[in-house]
Chains A and B, each alone.
Chain A
Amino acid sequence: SQQGEEDPQALSIQEGENATMNCSYKTSINNLQWYRQNSGRGLVHLILIRSNEREKHSGRLRVTLDTSKKSSSLLITASRAADTASYFCATDGYIFGTGTRLKVLA
């Protein structure tokens, strides 16, 4: 069964705008990871945040984790057309959520 659920299921924005997607999970975790998947390709690891961390940055990505609410968010700033993909959260490495399909319009 899937542990995480991403919200929204789909998101369409203009290039240059910020994109925020959320992940909620059910049981306590050691860490949470975010992955990107381009159409027809495998997943690519973006960032890992441990349960004792609240925020982490990597380039244009910002991830937050609220263990009391069992939720995480991924913010992509100044989005580009190349960011168009599906984004998945994964708890404890291998339990993936349902994904958010992001479309960035040029």
Chain B
Amino acid sequence: EAGVAQSPRYKIIEKRQSVAFWCNPISGHATLYWYQQILGQGPKLLIQFQNNGVVDDSQLPKDRFSAERLKGVDSTLKIQPAKLEDSAVYLCASSLSFPPSRPNQPQHFGDGTRLSIL
């Protein structure tokens, strides 16, 4: 099966500019996640979608970050305006939908977008 696709692979922008990342999950995966991974750290969840509804966005800096998943398939994550501390790899992951009796299905990750802020 095709994996999770992300683009672009790399992005360099200046602070205060805006940027958008795109993710196409594995076909049939209802749950989609966006993570921020700062160099040397583990991924930090930014937002989780179940189909096109938001399940958890408690760690999303909503003053500058936004995400949408129209039609419950592809998703975009936007940063506007970017700050220096946003330099990181942005990872998208997807998993099968799950009933409450079988939580936390394994996630399948894309290779991420490496964002550098100048």
A and B physically associate: yes
Residues on A facing B (Cβ under 8 Å): 2, 4, 30-31, 33, 40-45, 48, 88, 92-99
Closest to A43 in B: B109
Cβ of B43 within 8 Å of any chain A Cβ, yes or no, is: yes
Which of B13-21, B64-72, B75-83, B100-108 contacts its partner? B100-108
CA distance A45 to B42 in the complex (A): 14
A88 & B111 in contact (Cβ 8 Å cutoff)? no
**Interface residues of B, CB < 8 Å — how many?**
22
Q: A53 to nearest B CB, angstroms?
A: 14
Cβ of B25 within 8 Å of any chain A Cβ, yes or no, is: no
CA distance A104 to B102 in the complex (A): 35
Closest 9 CB pairs of A and B: A42-B109, A93-B104, A96-B42, A45-B106, A43-B109, A42-B111, A94-B45, A96-B43, A88-B42
B111 & A99 in contact (Cβ 8 Å cutoff)? no
A43 & B43 in contact (Cβ 8 Å cutoff)? yes
Closest to B6 in A: A42
A30 & B91 in contact (Cβ 8 Å cutoff)? no
| Per-position binary interface string of chain B over residues 89-118, scored 1 when its CB falls under 8 Å from any chain A CB and 0 otherwise | 001010100000001111111111000000
| Given A31-B104, A42-B91, A94-B48 contact (CB < 8 Å) | yes
A97 & B111 in contact (Cβ 8 Å cutoff)? no
